[in-house]
Amino acid sequence: MLAFIVRRMIQAAIVLLTVALIAFVMFRFVGDPVNQIVGIETTAADRAEMRETLGLNDPVIIQFGRFVGRMARFDFGMSYQFRQPVSELFAERLPATLELAVISMVLAVGVGIPMGVFSALYRDSLSAKLMQVLSLVGISLPTFLIGILLIYVFSVQLGWLPSYGRGETVTIGGWSTGLLTGSGLLALIMPSVTLGLFQMTLIMRLVRAEMMEVLRTDYIKFAHARGLPDRVVHFGHALKNTLVPVITVVGLELGSVIAFAIITETVFQWPGMGLLFLQAVQNADIPIMAGYLMLIGVLFVIINLAVDLLYAAVDPRIKTTASAG
């Protein structure tokens, strides 16, 4: 088990180093960093001096080393457009995105799994068939279109929900949360539904497919034969055995949720990381892009690692092959 963890850690480090290399190349070679920092009236001598102090004349490999060192300390440099450290901007925006992502994922799991179980158990019922059709539509509709449709129905037509922003937020120890105010919660509904819908349909289809497979197996028939109540058989025996693929998908999808948050945040003008990143892309604000890339890279690597470890914990078969290999 230890060897397995160590090997995964080394792989993770390699991936992160590659991501850092891409971020470095972006930072160093897309446009001239000096030109981005100074104004037009700066003299050539000042520029040369700045090159020297920034270390842009050193060998590229040393520059890369320094870059990785700074990244490790969460020092992503100054944003070109805001003239403010990127890490500060991230700290301001991160709570909004994380709240949105976690709530949508909870929603996706909390609704997707029961729906999947239901449509597997009663697969011939009308509502199960309806769910299948709806899930196909849900997978095909682009995220931003769902958001726009929701805004039209619930904000423009019915006037029930706010169409943009986070509502009122409360700051607790540097973390601004919208979960504790009424308007904050109302503002969270549509963005989290929009963001979670794709994952919800995905989880539902996956659970349904896995459940139908498991329900055919002998140990389920045996459990029924033993006279156990349906509830115990379905949730205790069957659902538990569908969880390995579900954990993988949920884990990997958490990453996509953060990426798709860019779209959702744009539709609802949600003041999170995604909106910040999008502005950076539009204005070629490389420090923010590089920092965002690093942050997402770290996040993905951690998620993948956690999924692998959880795997081993849930399914004993994986543990044995891992330690044997």
Partner 1 sequence: MTPDTPSQNTTKAGFMARLRDHDMTASFLSSKVTVGAAIVTVLLMAGALLAPLLVASDPFDPTTVFIMDSHLPPFWIDGADPRFVLGTDDQGRDLLAAILYGLRVSLSISILGVLFATILGVGLGLVAGYVGGTVDAFIMRVADVQLTFPVILVALLIDGMVHGALKGVGQEDTAFGVLVFSITLSFWVKYARVVRGSTLVERNKDYVHAARLVGLPSFIIMLRHVLPNVLGPVLVILTINFGLAIIAEATLSFLGVGLPPTEPSLGTLIRIGQQFLFSGEWWIVLFPGLTLAALVLAVNLLGDWLRDALNPKLR
Binding site for partner 1 (CB under 8 A): 14-15, 18-19, 26, 30-31, 136-137, 139-145, 148-149, 151-152, 156, 163, 255-256, 259-260, 262-263, 266-267, 277-278, 280-282, 284, 286, 289, 293, 296-297, 300-301, 304
Q: State in angstroms the smallest separation of the CB of 180 from partner 1.
A: 29
**14 residue type, one letter:** I
Q: State in angstroms the smallest separation of the CB of 55 from partner 1.
A: 21
Residue 236 or 245 with smaller CB distance to partner 1? 245
**145 residue type, one letter:** L
Q: State in angstroms the smallest separation of the CB of 177 from partner 1.
A: 26
Distance CA 178, CA 218 (A): 49
Residue 156 or 324 with smaller CB distance to partner 1? 156
Q: State in angstroms the smallest separation of the CB of 145 from partner 1.
A: 5
Residue 185 or 296 with smaller CB distance to partner 1? 296
Q: State in angstroms the smallest separation of the CB of 306 from partner 1.
A: 14
End-to-end CA distance of the chain: 10
User: 172: alpha, beta or left, given left = phi > 0 and alpha = psi -120 to 50?
Assistant: beta
> By three-state DSSP, how is residue 172 classified?
strand
Residue 11 or 183 with smaller CB distance to partner 1? 11
> By three-state DSSP, how is residue 170 classified?
strand
Residue 20 or 223 with smaller CB distance to partner 1? 20
Cα three-residue angle 290-95-243, rounded to 5 degrees: 90
Q: State in angstroms the smallest separation of the CB of 252 from partner 1.
A: 9
Say if residues 183 and 162 touch (Cβ distance below 8 Å). Answer: yes
Say which DSSP state 78 is in. B
> Regarding beta strands 175-177 and 170-172, do their DSSP bridges make them parallel or antiparallel, or are they unpaired?
antiparallel
Residue 169 or 242 with smaller CB distance to partner 1? 242
